[in-house]
A and B are shown apart, each in its own frame.
Chain A
Amino acid sequence: MSLDAAEIKKIAHLARLGINADDIPEYSRNLSDILAFVEQLNAVDTAGVEPLAHPLEATQRLRPDAVSETDNRDNFQKVAPETESGLYLVPQVIE
């Protein structure tokens, strides 16, 4: 499996990840190497094998539906790049 420049750009867009145009050939080479390396997984017969999502096969614990957190908004927003009146600010979305 080898990824060309157009595919790298598409994946970067899906990840909303800015990459430099100059670096695309290297990403293309590195990613192709990595994919070629993991390709050997496809040679394994996994018919009837269940995927293992949790090493101990634990399932999600449930807790009572009760409020357990206190209001930490001001505290958490202290580390935000830009806030106003308790809201996070981003560039205008709707014209």
Chain B
Amino acid sequence: MHQKTLVELSADLHKGRCSSVELTRACLDRISKYDGELNSFVTVVEQQALAAAQAADARIKAGTAGPLTGIPFAHKDIFCTLGVKTSCGSKMLDNFIAPYDATVTRKLLEAGAVMVGKTNMDEFAMGSSNETSFYGAVKNPWDAATVPGGSSGGSAAAVAARLVPASTGTDTGGSIRQPAALCGITGIKPTYGRVSRYGMIAFASSLDQGGAFTRTAEDAAVMLGAMAGFDPHDSTSVDRPVDDYTGGLNTPLQGLKIGLPKEYFGEGLDAGVAAAIEASLDEYRKLGATLVDISLPNTHLSVPAYYVVAPAECSSNLSRFDGVRFGYRASEPKDLEDLYTRSRGEGFGDEVKRRILVGTYALSAGYYDAYYLQAQKVRRLIRDDFLSAFGQVDVIMGPTAPSVAFRLGEKADDPVSMYLSDTYTIAVNLAGLPAMSIPAGFSGGLPVGLHVVGNYFEEARLLNVGHQLQQATDWHTHSPQGF
């Protein structure tokens, strides 16, 4: 059962070949069997999941079910879940039982999806390896000595290990696409504003966007269809109808123009990754697409711009954690300042502190113009590069990450080297564009991800482009040994 895709499982449920209770029980059993080693879950909600599965089975019988009804999923621990611990991977929120549901949570539950638990993640989504979590590192199911990527490492590992057919993630600089690539699965980050941020714990508000992990593009279309949509509770949510993501999956790619930025294939790209990407591009050629060489000349500025904008917004957003209204509070504070300083000092981990310090510095008197304002100007240059590229091509492709999964601990002491592992994904967040990573083969036995970037609100096209590759190749069906 665990090798089936979400769409196959949905058909089984609707045809009465299995029940949601059986399916949910099977996922819970796999979690208890494998997750001790993987560490992809922070919380498993067995009783709640089985109750939801029973309700889903009733809905299926009553004929009021949709494609997600009865499908188990894992939820990144950044989304608030009413009555369930929502830790954001931090000691700061280790004791936080969310008093409300995030909009994404509510929409998935209303669609009848069954939440089996909350997944491990880099603390406050700050990291590219899932090593900054208060709950310990997550292992990559393909090789337990390597990282699953981050920040949504638990969500990616859980889908890759076939513990669940789907999971949620968030992506501020690559936190869905990079772990999807490193774990050999499909991950989509929609256009900024497409999925509500209400109840999604904020890291960098102008970059954060929710999305999904699945094994196939077709499954991702179903997940995203349920998650997307306007939400008056999120002031940056875009009021525009959600496209039909599944309807166009089979559109032929004849005539599709694929842009290949020369900046994504240069120095720093691992040769094995490059070879796998070239092979996938050949498949697209066979499917009738035209490959066009393009340039995104400001690409080299995206990581530096990001590491001003993201920490600046993080330092502002994380000021809410003060030990007064929720979260960790230091014991026996001697005065108010001591309460703030020690609650934050004891509640936050190293990487979070580093980013708060960088952001505080970048926003402080005398430095705001030099850092934050300049970064926001460069951000426009980066966005304009994409706009001009989309005048010539329909989608942009390249590698999702410069290498396959790196070893646990390898980059943990060198923040700048860790930041560079997000080189190809970060510009997309600065521009607010939709993008996905799809399995594109292997290098040295570890998965490679193909990065596909679309123009604003062209999620349906991305999913179509991904689905067509998955009709021509079987990379997405490979599963890690031992699971």
Contact = CB atoms under 8 A, between A and B. Distances in A.
A6 interface: no
A51 B373 contact: yes
Interface residues of A, number: 51
A18 B341 contact: yes
A40 B27 CA distance: 48
A37 B374 CA distance: 14
A92 B338 CA distance: 12
Interface string B85-103: 0000000000111010000
B416 A33 contact: yes
A44 B301 contact: yes
Contacts of B346: 18
Given A38-B304, A49-B381, A17 B432 contact: no
A91 B383 contact: no
Contacts of B253: none
Contact of B329 (A19, A30, A82): A82
Nearest to B98: A79
Contacts of B300: 40
B345 A91 contact: no
B337 interface: yes
A72 interface: yes
Given A17-B348, A63-B232, A50 B380 contact: yes
Given A56-B432, A79-B97, A88-B325, A37 B337 contact: no
Nearest to A50: B380
A55 B325 contact: no
Contacts of A17: 341, 344-345, 348, 353, 356-357, 360
Contacts of A20: 345
Contacts of B99: 72, 75-76, 78-79
Given A34-B415, A38-B304, A49-B377, A58 B335 contact: no
What is the size category of the interface that chain B forms with chain A? Answer: 35 or more
B376 A51 contact: yes
Given A52-B376, A55-B432, A58-B193, A16 B341 contact: yes
Contacts of A44: 298, 301, 374, 377-378, 381
B27 to A, nearest CB: 29
Given A34-B416, A55-B431, A78-B99, A12 B376 contact: no
A11 B360 CA distance: 7
A41 interface: yes
A80 B302 CA distance: 39
Interface string B203-235: 000100000000000000000000000001001
A82 to B, nearest CB: 7
Contacts of B196: none
A56 B193 CA distance: 9
Interface in A60-93: 60-61, 63, 72, 75-76, 78-82, 88, 90-93
Contacts of B298: 44
A30 B315 contact: no
30 contacts: A11-B364, A12-B357, A15-B344, A15-B356, A16-B344, A17-B341, A17-B344, A18-B344, A27-B353, A35-B361, A38-B305, A38-B307, A38-B371, A41-B301, A41-B374, A41-B375, A42-B374, A44-B377, A44-B381, A46-B374, A50-B380, A51-B376, A53-B206, A56-B432, A60-B235, A72-B99, A78-B99, A82-B329, A91-B338, A91-B339
Interface of A: 3, 8, 11-12, 14-20, 23, 27, 30-31, 33-35, 37-42, 44, 46, 49-56, 58, 60-61, 63, 72, 75-76, 78-82, 88, 90-93
